[in-house]
Amino acid sequence: MIGIDYYLFRIMRIFNRLPANPLCLGNQTKTFLEYFKNFDKIPTVQAIFGNKTTEVLNKLKVELSWINGYMYVDGNDGHLVISKKYLKSGNRTEIYLDLIHELCHVKQFMEGKELFDPRYAYVDRPTEIEAYRYCIKEARRLGFSQERIRCYLRTEWINDSDFERLVKTVNTSDP
Ligand SMILES: [Zn+2]
C-alpha cells in the first residue's frame, strides 16, 4: 500500500499541469487527458472504463466554462463541463474526487443511461449512487477518515435527512 502522500503529490502534479491561467477569457475545450495527465493510470478510473480507459479519456472533451458551480456531464453529447472558478479556487483533492464522480457519469452516458432521471430524488438516483461509490472508494484509497468523507459528501443542495441517507447508501467499501 502506497502512502497518502504519494497520491496527494500526484494530484498536485496533475493540477500543476492545468492551463496556467484557467480564468482567461472565453471557454476552452481540450480532451480530458490534455488537462488531467495520467488520470488513466488511476486504478479507480480504470475500474470505471476497464481496458478502454485511455481511449475514452483521450476522446472525452472537457470544456472549461464560466458557469457557476462545479462540474457536470452535458446531457446532449456527454462532454464534461467544468467551472473555471471552481478549478481555480476549489479544494484540489475534492476537485480530484469530483472528476472521478463525473467520469462515472461519462461512462453511464456512453451506456445510454438517463443521467438526470426526474423520477428519483438526487440521493436515490441510481446513477448518482454509483458515481458516489466510485469517488468514495478513491477517497478511502487516499486515506480519508470517515469524518472527512462525511465532510466531502456534505453539499449545499442536500438537506439533513437526504444527507444521512446518502452517507448510509454510498459509504460501503465496494462500489
Ligand atoms: Zn453526480
Per-residue confidence in pLDDT tens, the chain, 175 aa: 455 556 666 666 666 556 555 555 566 789 999 999 899 999 999 999 999 999 999 999 999 998 888 999 999 999 999 999 999 899 999 999 999 999 999 999 999 999 989 999 999 999 999 999 999 999 999 999 999 999 999 988 899 999 999 999 998 655 4
Max Cα distance, the chain (Å): 42
Task: Write the burial class of residue 163 (CB in 10 Å: 0-12 exposed, 13-18 middle, 19+ buried).
Answer: middle
163 C-alpha to ligand 1 centroid (Å): 14
Helix (H, G, I), strand (E, B) or coil at 84: helix
**How many whole angstroms from 117 Cα to the centroid of ligand 1?**
11
Instruction: Provide Rg for the chain, Cα atoms.
Output: 16
Sheet containing 61-65, strands listed edge to edge, beginning at the edge strand earlier in sequence:
28-31, 61-65, 80-83, 71-73
Give the Å distance between the CA of 130 and the centre of ligand 1.
9
Give the Å distance between the CA of 100 and the centre of ligand 1. 10
Q: How far is the CA of 150 from the centre of ligand 1 (A)?
A: 16
Compute the distance from residue 40 Cα to the ligand 1 centre, in Å. 20
CA 9 to ligand 1 center in whole angstroms: 26
Which residues have CB under 8 Å from 13's CB, separation 6+? 38
The SS3 of residue 72 is strand
In DSSP terms, 61 is beta-bridged to 31
Write out the residues surrounding ion ligand 1, Cβ under 5 A. 128, 131
Ligand 1: distance of its center to the CA of 105 in Å?
7
Task: Cell numbers for 104, please give them.
Answer: 462515472
- In the reported structure, the alpha carbon of residue 128 is separated from the centroid of ligand 1 by a whole-number distance in angstroms of 5
Parallel, antiparallel, or unpaired for β 28-31 and 80-83?
unpaired
Query: Within 13 Å and on the Cβ side, how many CA atoms surround 108?
Result: 25
Residues 6+ apart with CB under 8 A from 23: 84, 85, 88
Q: What is the pTM of this model?
A: 0.86
